[in-house]
Each structure stands twice: as C-alpha cells, then as structure tokens.
C-alpha cells in the first residue's frame, strides 16, 4: 500500500479495493501497529473490502484513542465518490440510521423506522450527495 502521510504518531495509507485486512499488509513494513488498539491493530476506522480510499493508522495507543474518539464523534469529515446506475440530476441529503441489511450480508441499508434500525444495530448517519460529472457515455457539457 502506498503511504500518503507519515509522522511519529500516524500513518495514512491508500487502501486498494479488494484488500480485506489492510493492517496485515501494513504491519509488514510497520510492525509497531500490531501493538496498538488491540484487535484493530492501529486502524482508527474501517473501509469495506470493496472500497478504496485513505485509511488512518495510529502508531501508538494515545494517538489511537484520540483518533477513535474523533471518528466516533464525527469530528472527521469523510468524503466518498460513487458510481451509480442511472442519472443523478441534483444533489440531496439522506438523514437516517444505516445498518446491516438482514436480506444480504454484503449490503447495508437506511432504516427509516428508527426502532427497527436500533434493533438491527444501525448507526446514525447523514449523507449529502451531489452529481460531479456527466453520465458515462454522455456528451460533455461545455
């Protein structure tokens, strides 16, 4: 994995899609992460196996605890880029708990019924989306 940023406290790496255990890969060159965060092995958050993106790893317990707190309190802004089927004409907002979809091990869903969401271990989430480009194969606007 390519290292995007490194200092004495943090490693920020570019996780490729398909990598299920980025800590195992990173620990080959940075074994100190194996002693941080218990089973998390330094990972301050997670990305799904099929998702690529930047991941933050702590190199010591103090940094790990602080970063976990910041992530859990939503103090760190995360942005994602997604490809969709169809056309998104304008932006919008989805404000509802997200949790595992009982119909599929590989999917999550928004629970509009909060009680059902809590039962299914959904977490509060707000997603703001906007189109950033023309559909694939569509002529570019100038």
Which are the catalytic amino acids?
Answer: 48
**Is 93 within 8 Å of 128 (Cβ atoms)?**
yes
CA–CA gap between residue 3 and residue 8 (Å, rounded): 14
Helices and strands in the chain: count of H runs, count of E runs? 3, 7
How many of the other CB atoms lie within 10 Å of CB of 109? 17
Residues in CB range of 78: below 8 A, 6 or more apart: none
């Amino acid at each position: 994995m390519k290292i995007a940023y490194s200092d004495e406290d943090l490693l920020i790496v570019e996780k490729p899609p398909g990598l299920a255990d980025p800590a195992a890969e990173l620990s080959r060159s940075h074994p100190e992460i194996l002693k941080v965060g218990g089973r998390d092995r330094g990972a301050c958050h997670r990305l799904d196996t099929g998702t690529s993106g930047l991941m933050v790893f702590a190199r010591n317990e103090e940094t790990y605890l602080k970063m976990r707190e910041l992530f859990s309190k939503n103090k760190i802004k995360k942005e994602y880029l997604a490809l969709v089927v169809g056309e998104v004409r304008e932006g919008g907002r989805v404000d509802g708990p997200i949790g595992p979809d009982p119909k599929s091990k590989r999917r999550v869903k928004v629970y509009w019924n909060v009680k059902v969401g809590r039962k299914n271990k959904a977490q509060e989430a707000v997603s703001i989306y906007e189109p950033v480009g023309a559909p694939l194969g569509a002529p570019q606007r100038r």
